[in-house]
Amino acid sequence: MTTSTLTTAQDTSSLFPTAADLAGRIGLSAIFLLAGINKIQNYEGSAQYLVYGGLPESLLPLVILFEVGTALALISGFQVRLVALALAGFSVVTAALYHNNLADQMQFIMFFKNIAMAGGFLLLAANGAGRWSLDARSRRSQR
């Protein structure tokens, strides 16, 4: 094998994890981006649902900002470790407040969906955003 062949093989083998990091961030952020947009479009119903979970209606703008803002931060790869930790906590809290009737099969599924998402966010917090991210770009420019 020549040096050129080894370099090409190394470049190809590093492409999958790099692309997977980006695809994973996009996938994890999609539910929050869409939920935030839906809350804007259905503001009154969203406010009522917030109250159903025991939270004041006045928090809705902050929830929308959090969901949309964290989704965009994940997609761009900005402050991913911190954002992922915040989303892990948010996922667990929303599971406890809104999906706590585990006798209801749909709520059981939704509860553990949130717990699974929290697990994914913890992995993201532990491993970082990957090469195709603003975090990586920032690290490269600091060298």
Query: Could you list the pLDDT tens digit for every one of the 143 residues in the chain?
Result: 555 554 555 566 789 999 999 999 999 999 999 999 999 999 999 999 999 999 999 999 999 999 999 999 999 999 999 999 999 999 999 999 999 999 999 999 999 999 999 999 999 999 999 999 999 998 888 87
Round to whole Å and give the CA distance between 123 and 63: 23
Tokens of 19: 């692309």
Contacts of 52 (CB under 8 A, 6+ apart): 98
Could you tell me the residue ranges of all domains in the chain?
19-141
How many C-beta neighbours within 10 Å does residue 70 have? 25
Round to whole Å and give the CA distance between 120 and 87: 10
Predicted pLDDT of residue 13: 74
pTM value is: 0.87
